[in-house]
Amino acid sequence: MDELINRIAANVGIDAETAKKAVGAILAFLEKEGPADKVKDMLAAVPGSQDLIGQAPSGGMLSMGGVMGLGSQLMGMGMGMGEISGVAKETMGFARENGAGDAIDEIVASIPGLSQFV
Protein backbone atom coordinates (compact mmCIF):
# COMPACT_ATOMS: atom_id res chain seq x y z
CA MET A 1 0.00 0.00 0.00
CA ASP A 2 2.74 2.47 0.93
CA GLU A 3 4.46 1.94 -2.43
CA LEU A 4 1.31 2.91 -4.32
CA ILE A 5 0.49 5.88 -2.08
CA ASN A 6 4.07 7.23 -2.27
CA ARG A 7 4.03 6.80 -6.05
CA ILE A 8 0.76 8.74 -6.34
CA ALA A 9 1.96 11.49 -4.01
CA ALA A 10 5.15 11.91 -6.07
CA ASN A 11 3.67 11.57 -9.56
CA VAL A 12 0.31 13.29 -9.09
CA GLY A 13 1.38 15.89 -6.54
CA ILE A 14 -1.18 15.29 -3.81
CA ASP A 15 -0.53 14.57 -0.15
CA ALA A 16 -0.44 10.97 1.08
CA GLU A 17 -3.62 11.29 3.14
CA THR A 18 -5.63 12.51 0.15
CA ALA A 19 -4.05 9.79 -1.99
CA LYS A 20 -5.19 7.11 0.48
CA LYS A 21 -8.75 8.41 0.52
CA ALA A 22 -8.85 8.80 -3.26
CA VAL A 23 -7.51 5.30 -3.95
CA GLY A 24 -9.92 3.92 -1.37
CA ALA A 25 -12.83 5.69 -3.07
CA ILE A 26 -11.78 4.39 -6.49
CA LEU A 27 -11.38 0.83 -5.23
CA ALA A 28 -14.71 0.97 -3.38
CA PHE A 29 -16.38 2.22 -6.56
CA LEU A 30 -14.83 -0.57 -8.63
CA GLU A 31 -15.84 -3.12 -6.02
CA LYS A 32 -19.44 -1.89 -6.26
CA GLU A 33 -19.68 -1.33 -10.03
CA GLY A 34 -17.26 -3.80 -11.63
CA PRO A 35 -17.49 -7.51 -12.34
CA ALA A 36 -16.93 -9.18 -8.95
CA ASP A 37 -14.46 -11.84 -10.09
CA LYS A 38 -12.26 -9.37 -11.98
CA VAL A 39 -12.37 -6.80 -9.19
CA LYS A 40 -11.33 -9.52 -6.74
CA ASP A 41 -8.29 -10.27 -8.94
CA MET A 42 -7.43 -6.58 -9.13
CA LEU A 43 -7.78 -6.06 -5.37
CA ALA A 44 -5.48 -9.01 -4.78
CA ALA A 45 -2.83 -7.17 -6.82
CA VAL A 46 -3.03 -4.07 -4.60
CA PRO A 47 -1.61 -4.81 -1.14
CA GLY A 48 -3.71 -3.22 1.59
CA SER A 49 -6.65 -2.62 -0.75
CA GLN A 50 -9.26 -3.44 1.90
CA ASP A 51 -7.59 -1.00 4.32
CA LEU A 52 -7.70 1.68 1.63
CA ILE A 53 -11.37 0.97 0.93
CA GLY A 54 -11.99 1.37 4.66
CA GLN A 55 -10.43 4.85 4.54
CA ALA A 56 -12.65 6.03 1.69
CA PRO A 57 -15.17 8.70 2.63
CA SER A 58 -18.67 7.27 2.65
CA GLY A 59 -21.88 8.71 1.32
CA GLY A 60 -21.84 12.10 -0.31
CA MET A 61 -22.22 12.41 -4.05
CA LEU A 62 -21.40 8.75 -4.66
CA SER A 63 -25.11 8.18 -4.28
CA MET A 64 -25.36 9.93 -7.66
CA GLY A 65 -23.97 6.71 -9.08
CA GLY A 66 -21.59 5.81 -11.84
CA VAL A 67 -18.37 7.50 -12.79
CA MET A 68 -19.96 10.94 -12.32
CA GLY A 69 -20.72 10.15 -8.69
CA LEU A 70 -17.15 8.98 -8.12
CA GLY A 71 -15.81 12.11 -9.81
CA SER A 72 -17.99 14.31 -7.60
CA GLN A 73 -16.79 12.48 -4.52
CA LEU A 74 -13.14 12.94 -5.51
CA MET A 75 -13.68 16.61 -6.37
CA GLY A 76 -15.19 16.95 -2.91
CA MET A 77 -11.76 15.97 -1.58
CA GLY A 78 -10.32 19.00 -3.34
CA MET A 79 -8.98 17.20 -6.38
CA GLY A 80 -9.15 18.52 -9.93
CA MET A 81 -9.79 16.45 -13.05
CA GLY A 82 -6.06 16.09 -13.78
CA GLU A 83 -5.39 14.79 -10.29
CA ILE A 84 -8.36 12.42 -10.44
CA SER A 85 -7.16 11.00 -13.74
CA GLY A 86 -3.60 10.76 -12.39
CA VAL A 87 -4.68 8.83 -9.30
CA ALA A 88 -6.83 6.47 -11.41
CA LYS A 89 -4.01 5.86 -13.90
CA GLU A 90 -1.42 5.25 -11.18
CA THR A 91 -3.75 2.89 -9.31
CA MET A 92 -4.64 0.88 -12.40
CA GLY A 93 -1.01 0.89 -13.56
CA PHE A 94 0.12 -0.40 -10.19
CA ALA A 95 -2.43 -3.22 -10.32
CA ARG A 96 -1.36 -4.07 -13.89
CA GLU A 97 2.30 -4.22 -12.86
CA ASN A 98 1.34 -6.60 -10.07
CA GLY A 99 -0.38 -9.11 -12.32
CA ALA A 100 -3.94 -7.85 -12.80
CA GLY A 101 -3.64 -6.60 -16.40
CA ASP A 102 -6.40 -8.74 -17.90
CA ALA A 103 -8.72 -7.98 -14.98
CA ILE A 104 -8.11 -4.23 -15.37
CA ASP A 105 -8.99 -4.33 -19.06
CA GLU A 106 -12.25 -6.14 -18.36
CA ILE A 107 -13.17 -3.87 -15.45
CA VAL A 108 -12.58 -0.71 -17.51
CA ALA A 109 -14.57 -2.13 -20.43
CA SER A 110 -17.50 -3.04 -18.17
CA ILE A 111 -18.04 0.39 -16.56
CA PRO A 112 -19.42 3.11 -18.85
CA GLY A 113 -17.25 6.24 -18.92
CA LEU A 114 -14.37 4.81 -16.90
CA SER A 115 -11.99 4.56 -19.85
CA GLN A 116 -11.74 8.36 -20.11
CA PHE A 117 -10.01 8.46 -16.71
CA VAL A 118 -7.63 5.54 -17.07
Q: Domain locations in the chain?
A: 2-116
Distance CA 53, CA 43 (A): 10
Q: Which residues, at least 6 apart from 110, have a Cβ–Cβ distance to it below 8 Å?
A: 34, 35, 38
pTM: 0.92
Identify the CA nearest to 61 among candidates 50, 49, 74.
74
Cβ atoms of 69 and 62 closer than 8 Å: yes
pLDDT tens digits, the chain, 118 residues: what are they?
899 999 999 999 999 999 999 999 999 999 999 999 999 999 999 999 999 999 888 755 445 678 888 999 999 999 999 999 999 999 999 999 999 989 999 999 999 989 888 8
